[in-house]
Amino acid sequence: MKFLDIRTDFAFKKVFGSEGSKDILLSFLNAVIDFNGRSVCDLTIVDPYNIPMLKGMKDTFVDVKAQLSDGSRVIIEMQVLNHEGFEQRVLYNAAKNYSLQLQQGQPFTLLNPVIALTLADFVLFPDQPLTNCFKLLEKKRFIEYSDDIELVFIELPKFNKTEADLETVQDKWLYFIKNAGKLDYVPKNLGQEQEKAFAIANESNLSTEELELQHRKRDYITIMRGAFELALKQGQEQGLKQGMEKGIEEGMEKGMEKGVEQNRRDTIINAHRAGVPPATIAQIVQLDVAEVCAVLAQLGQQ
């Protein structure tokens, strides 16, 4: 058997955001979020997974949305690549989903809480635990202002349990998300919901169209990770690390600019060869579509 890499946003949406994923999502949320001692007993999946919708998506901005039985809203996002402004985007999306609940003239009392759950395949908060939760609190006495917006982060690199170590439901879900793409069998000590999740993630149950999209997503991630590593290597070769240690700001800026410029060109070329559209490439490298097309035209790639 071969399973999807759940850490790609496509696979995550397929498993947790499909029409038949209600019981899976309920189990997952109750396992990883503290709902003040209560269990969520019902939810509605908002904007369920479907191929036509996914084809027009922005590459790293797909999430699963659910409305709980008490009206609260949960946004769940799988993020494999860190980027500048990522933490601000998480807060922005939570605030946007909170404010969009009201139509003009409606009272603020109709607003329901929003929980933004982010699973990150990189470390955001060094020397902190696996899960970190943020709320609005008074600065000195930590009095809670409101729990209407809550940000929850789970950093997968900090989860290192093996199959033999799995004890809690949370352990089993995080193991599934982090390791399913590397397994060729279904672990025996899982619950019914995790077994169902493995069945959804089984590539033999996917259409040709879904498999093609998954492979493109995986290639995109590989390209971007390679680009980040290249930028780091070039920065080190330019003496960027030494410049940072010595505080030579001018040399650091020059080395960074040169590395970023070359990295952008390499990313544009590699992404184009992988079949990524120019408009999507422009979002990745933060340039105008015309600038991306100009680079490709210069190199005879268009």
Instruction: Give the per-residue pLDDT at 243.
Output: 47
Instruction: Give the per-residue pLDDT at 42.
Output: 87
| pTM for the predicted model, two decimal places | 0.70
- Report how many helices (DSSP H) and strands (DSSP E) the chain contains, helices first: 11, 6
Helix (H) or strand (E) holding 131: strand 131-137
Instruction: Count CB-CB contacts under 10 A for residue 148.
Output: 15
Mean pLDDT, 10 residues at a time, the chain of 302 residues: 86 88 94 87 81 48 78 90 86 92 90 94 94 94 91 96 95 96 93 95 81 66 62 60 49 51 74 77 79 80 48
The tokens for 248 are 């030579």
Helix (H) or strand (E) holding 155: strand 144-155
Instruction: Give the per-residue pLDDT at 198.
Output: 96
The DSSP-derived string for 204-222 is GGS-HHHHHHHHHHHHHHH
CB proximity list for 47: less than 8 A, separation 6 or greater: 17, 53, 65
Side-by-side strand order, sheet with 73-79: 43-46, 63-68, 73-79, 114-120, 144-155, 131-137
Instruction: Count CB-CB contacts under 10 A for residue 170.
Output: 18
The tokens for 30 are 């109750």
Instruction: Give the per-residue pLDDT at 104.
Output: 85
How far is Cα 5 from Cα 179, in angstroms, rounded to an integer?
8
Instruction: Give the per-residue pLDDT at 56.
Output: 46
How far is Cα 13 from Cα 45, in angstroms, rounded to an integer?
11
Instruction: Give the per-residue pLDDT at 46.
Output: 84
How far is Cα 132 from Cα 126, in angstroms, rounded to an integer?
11
DSSP conformational letter for 187: -
Instruction: Give the per-residue pLDDT at 136.
Output: 92
Instruction: Give the per-residue pLDDT at 218.
Output: 65
Q: How long, in residues, is the chain? A: 302
Instruction: Give the per-residue pLDDT at 223.
Output: 63
The Cβ-side half-sphere exposure at 253, using a 13 Å CA radius, reads 3
Partners of residue 73 on adjacent β-strands: 67, 114
How far is Cα 164 from Cα 123, in angstroms, rounded to an integer?
24
Task: Tell me phi and psi for residue 10, to 5 degrees.
Answer: -60, -50
Instruction: Give the per-residue pLDDT at 61.
Output: 45
Q: What is the largest CA-CA distance in the chain?
A: 62
Residue 105 backbone zone (phi > 0: left; psi -120 to 50: alpha; other: beta): left
Instruction: Give the per-residue pLDDT at 86.
Output: 87
Instruction: Give the per-residue pLDDT at 294.
Output: 83
Tell me, what amino acid is at 281?
I
How far is Cα 197 from Cα 15, in angstroms, rounded to an integer?
6
